[in-house]
């Protein structure tokens, strides 16, 4: 089994109907994460048992998540232990995590689960979205992934009735980030970054596609920015917008960015001036991206935002 670190790059989706939290809400949210696992190896994640639980309370969690920002949904999966532990006697151990589906842009596109069978024989493999998994602990201060159970809010029958996984799906059906055509001179001038003499692109490539239009002034709204992917000066995807700070004129003054971590857990949170960021919006699919003028290393070295 190949090992790789699960990081924020694997997070999914951007929510556009979210309402910005207050600074106090952000601080409280990060305090809730203090006892969670910041990162772990995929080899420690695969093989874990999958439990099902079908109750009104567990179903309600998933329904509420639909109205949350990506950062809030990430926290929810790690902070809902009370709801699931309250129905511990109703859990059903129905299988185990077999593998993780990733696309070349570093995104998790699903978790493969072996359901049923005996000692791995006769099991049926299905794919779950990472958002459907809840990490549940009975420990007061969990130290690693072994202190967590993995639970899904569905019945055993629903899990078994999911379409069987076919490896041919790896060659089709997964959308990946497309960088489109770009002019390295434009990127270098915008970032204040020297363009290599041979005209090669710094980093992995441009952040914005030809579908993205740059947002300025009142176009930079909280509902667009919350959960947006954040890229550093080299074009590397290094985190997401967790919150925004709104000034007296109702303009976005700063963005609160979670850098690194696993699914938002254990991330280094910093506050950056919005005026220093390039923000692109694609009207075609609602995709919004934020590029800052600092490298990932510089961001990691900044003082943590405390709210």
261 pLDDT tier (thresholds 50, 70, 90):
low
The predicted pLDDT at position 294 comes to 85
**What is the pLDDT, as a whole number, of residue 99?**
93
Is the pLDDT at 150 greater than 90? The verdict is yes
Cα angle value 76/80/85 (rounded, 5°)? 160
pLDDT digits (tens, 9 = 90+) for 153-164: 998 888 888 889
Instruction: Locate the DSSP E strands across 145-203.
Output: 149-152
Average pLDDT, the chain: 74
| pLDDT 10s digits, 31-51 | 333 456 767 888 899 999 999
49-52 and 252-259 beta bridge pairing: unpaired
Percentage of residues in the chain having pLDDT higher than 90: 18
Q: What is the pLDDT of residue 304?
A: 85
Low-confidence winner among 57-61, 194-198, 236-240, 278-282 (lowest mean pLDDT)? 194-198
Sequence spans of domains, the chain: 8-165, 184-300
Is pLDDT of 217 > 70?
A: yes
CA dist 156 → 64, 92, 206 (Å): 22, 7, 44
Q: Return the minimum-mean-pLDDT range out of 64-78, 158-172, 199-213, 276-290.
A: 199-213
Residue 198 confidence (pLDDT) above 60 = no
Domain 184-300 has CATH 2.30.30.240: yes
Alpha-carbon distances, residue 283 vs 229, 253, 291, 307 (angstroms)? 16, 23, 18, 32
Class of domain 8-165: mainly beta
The C-alpha atoms of residue 254 and residue 232 are separated, in whole angstroms, by 16
CA distance 60 to 41: 30
SS3 content of the chain, % helix, strand, coil (to 5): 25, 25, 45
């Amino acid at each position: 089994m190949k090992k790789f670190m699960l990081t924020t790059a694997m997070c999914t989706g951007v929510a556009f109907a979210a309402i910005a939290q207050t600074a106090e809400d952000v601080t409280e949210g990060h305090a809730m994460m203090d006892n969670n696992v910041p990162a772990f190896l995929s080899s420690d994640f695969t093989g874990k048992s999958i439990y099902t639980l079908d109750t009104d309370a567990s179903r309600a969690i998933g329904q509420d998540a639909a109205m949350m920002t990506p950062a809030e949904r990430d926290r929810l999966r790690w902070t809902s232990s009370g709801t699931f532990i309250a129905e511990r006697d109703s859990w059903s151990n129905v299988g185990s995590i077999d593998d993780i589906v990733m696309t070349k842009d570093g995104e998790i596109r699903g978790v493969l689960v072996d359901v049923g069978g005996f000692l791995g024989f006769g099991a049926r493999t299905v794919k779950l979205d990472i958002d459907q998994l809840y990490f549940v602990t009975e420990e007061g201060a969990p130290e690693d992934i072994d202190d967590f159970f993995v639970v899904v809010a569905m019945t055993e029958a629903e899990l078994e009735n999911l379409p069987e996984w076919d490896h041919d799906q790896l060659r089709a059906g997964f959308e990946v980030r497309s960088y489109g055509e770009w002019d390295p001179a434009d990127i270098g001038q915008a970032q204040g970054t020297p363009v290599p003499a041979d005209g090669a692109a710094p980093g992995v490539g441009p952040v914005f596609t030809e579908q993205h239009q740059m947002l300025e002034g009142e176009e930079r709204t909280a509902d667009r920015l919350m959960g947006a992917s954040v890229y550093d000066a080299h074009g590397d995807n290094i985190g997401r917008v967790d919150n925004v700070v709104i000034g007296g004129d109702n303009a976005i003054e700063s963005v609160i960015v979670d850098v690194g971590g696993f699914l938002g857990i254990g991330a280094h949170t910093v506050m950056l001036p919005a005026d220093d960021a390039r923000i692109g919006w694609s009207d075609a699919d609602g995709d919004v991206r934020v590029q800052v003028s600092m490298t990932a290393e510089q961001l990691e070295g900044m003082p943590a935002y405390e709210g």
